[in-house]
Amino acid sequence: MHTLNHLGQPIGFLVGGWRPPIRPHREIMEGRFCRLEPLDPARHVADLYSATTADHEGRLWTYLAYGPFENEPCFVEWLRGCGESRDPLFYAIVNQQSGKAVGVASYLRITPESGSIEVGHLVFSPALQRTPAATEAMFLMMRHAFTLGYRRYEWKCDALNAKSCAAAQRLGFTFEGIFRQATVYKGRNRDTAWYSIVDHEWPALRNAFEQWLGENNFDTQGSQRSSLSSLTSRITREHEVPKAPL
């Protein structure tokens, strides 16, 4: 999608009436299965420590730059820093039925001037993994970002983190490529896989999420009738990333 300038050079399309969005505030996002609350260490630490230590092997920390933690005081110190941060801006994922915090997510690299925002620092406890609440949490954050006026919503992960890569694709993100030797964490190399959703893709993806999260999509045992990937894959196929020109 480009036009030619008066010199015959290709240039990007005009973004008419562009106004940078505001930064996300610390506010609650309500869903049917979960709600996202601004992370409050004093309020959420007991739930989150209990939920994350149920992962006895520490698998959920492998691809994060921190954790697992030696003891509760170390976890509390990490969580306190998260609560004070504004970028990343952290939220606790609270199960609506139990009222307990079962995970953490954040907005980060918040860049209103270009309309770009990333989701990351995802800590999904065993109680949250592979549940409708986990998907709904990602939908709520996505919806809030596009409602604020962001044009680009990013997901990045270690390219070796197969589960994170698969999750991004299931959620409707488009793969953009791999940044080789992008960073070093825990003393090891990370090649970073980049994914994104842009604003013109969002309406169709929003409909897919709403259809998947709807009551009619779950039977009496809570099993899904249609998979989210079956709904989002049709959309992402329409938005293939063009190859770089030679």
The CATH number given to whatever domain includes residue 230 is 3.40.630.30
With respect to residue 19, please indicate whether it lies within any of the assigned structural domains: no
| Cβ neighbours of residue 47 closer than 8 Å, sequence gap 6 or more | 92, 100, 101, 102
Domain membership flag for residue 3 = no
CB neighbourhood size of 44 (10 A): 25
Which residues neighbour 246 within 8 Å (Cβ) at sequence distance 6 or greater? none
Residue of 107, 193, 104 lying closest to 145 (CA atoms): 107
82-111, pLDDT tens digit by residue? 999 999 999 999 999 999 999 999 999 999
149 falls within a domain: yes
Distance of alpha carbon 18 from alpha carbon 20, whole angstroms: 7
Query: What pLDDT sits at residue 220?
Result: 82
Which residues is 195 bridged to in the sheet?
A: 155, 175
How many domains, the chain? 1
In a domain, 18, yes or no: no
Residue 245 has pLDDT above 70, yes or no: no
- In the chain, % helix, strand, coil (3-state, to 5) comes to 35, 30, 35
pLDDT at 43 over 90: yes
Task: Give the tokens for residue 136.
Answer: 């709904």
Given pLDDT bands bounded at 50, 70 and 90, which one contains residue 16? confident
pLDDT value at 244 more than 90: no
Sign of the torsion formed by the C-alpha atoms of 92, 105, 137 and 163: negative
Q: Does residue 227 surpass a pLDDT of 90?
A: yes
Nearest alpha-carbon partner for 4 in 211, 138, 12, 220: 12
- The model carries a pTM of 0.93
Domain of 146, in residue numbers: 26-239
Residue 59 covered by a domain: yes
Within 10 A of 165 (CB to CB), how many other CB atoms are there? 18
Would you say residue 4 lies in a domain?
Answer: no
Q: How confident is the model at residue 238 (pLDDT cuts 50, 70, 90)?
A: low
Q: What is the mean pLDDT of residues 218-228?
A: 88
In-domain check, residue 179: yes
Is residue 7 one of the residues assigned to a domain? no
Q: Measuring CA to CA, which residue among 34, 193, 177, 54 is closest to residue 99? A: 34
> How much is the mean pLDDT over the chain?
94
Q: Predicted confidence band at 243 (pLDDT cuts at 50, 70, 90)?
A: low
